[in-house]
Amino acid sequence: MICLKNIVKTYNKGKSNAYEALHGISMEIKDGEMTAVIGTSGAGKSTLLHILACIDGYDSGEYTIDGEEVGRISEKQMAQVRNEKIGMVMQDFALVDGFTALDNVLIPLDFAGGKQRLRKKERREKALKMLDMVGMKEFAGKPVNNLSGGQKQRVAIARAIANDPSIILADEPTGALDSATTEEIMKVFRDLNEQGRTIVIVTHDPAVAEQCGRVIRIEDGRIVE
């Protein structure tokens, strides 16, 4: 379970241009929920998501994942949490141009350590399985710069789930897609949610939010609904 209590985040703290982006955010997201975080541009959605993803820190409050307080662990342990428990999907796909779809999905598998480390053949088999789950196995050998936006996002999702994370965080994953492709991508997220994964989607699109089981609205760095 994800739990935030009174999270405050200030950029440029102590400077004349200091800006408090989050003002005491508190919320819980239970295991297996599919939740949308919705709000206008500048509301604090992405800041919140980056904290959830253990990419960015916070100034005060408490953030726990499965009972472990993120603010009390080392950077090395935080990297382990990111690699083992969290999959991230970005609006701009964040794929490596020139790499094939398969090569992109292999990246987190190649960097996995400890018990998650697989042999080369096993990593390839798993990456192909992830691509198959999102309907992209036939494009495994194709450079991602030759794929459509929707296909790129499917590859990005396959990469995000490569290490079997229990939590998938998506930052405006349909923002660059047309309505038909958006529906296809949302079906992928719903399918992953039905498999038991916790999904958090940051969006400004009410149509995307409506497809989630729960909606959290944030404005001016505060949860308002």
CATH numbers and ranges of domains, the chain: 33-46+75-223 (3.40.50.300)
CB half-sphere exposure, 100, CA atoms < 13 A: 14
* Secondary element (H or E) of residue 89: strand 86-89
Burial of 22 (0-12, 13-18, 19+ CB in 10 A): buried
Task: Give the whole-angstrom CA distance, residue 62 versus residue 40.
Answer: 25
| Rg (alpha carbons) of the chain, rounded to whole number | 18
pTM of structure: 0.90
Taking only the tens place, the pLDDT of each residue in 45-62 is: 999 999 999 988 899 999
Kind of pairing between the strands at 214-219 and 222-223: antiparallel
Task: Give the whole-angstrom CA distance, residue 113 versus residue 144.
Answer: 26
The CA-CA-CA angle for residues 122, 128, 134, to 5°, reads 140
Residue 113 reports pLDDT greater than 70: no
Taking only the tens place, the pLDDT of each residue in 168-219 is: 999 999 988 999 999 999 999 999 999 999 999 999 899 999 999 999 999 9
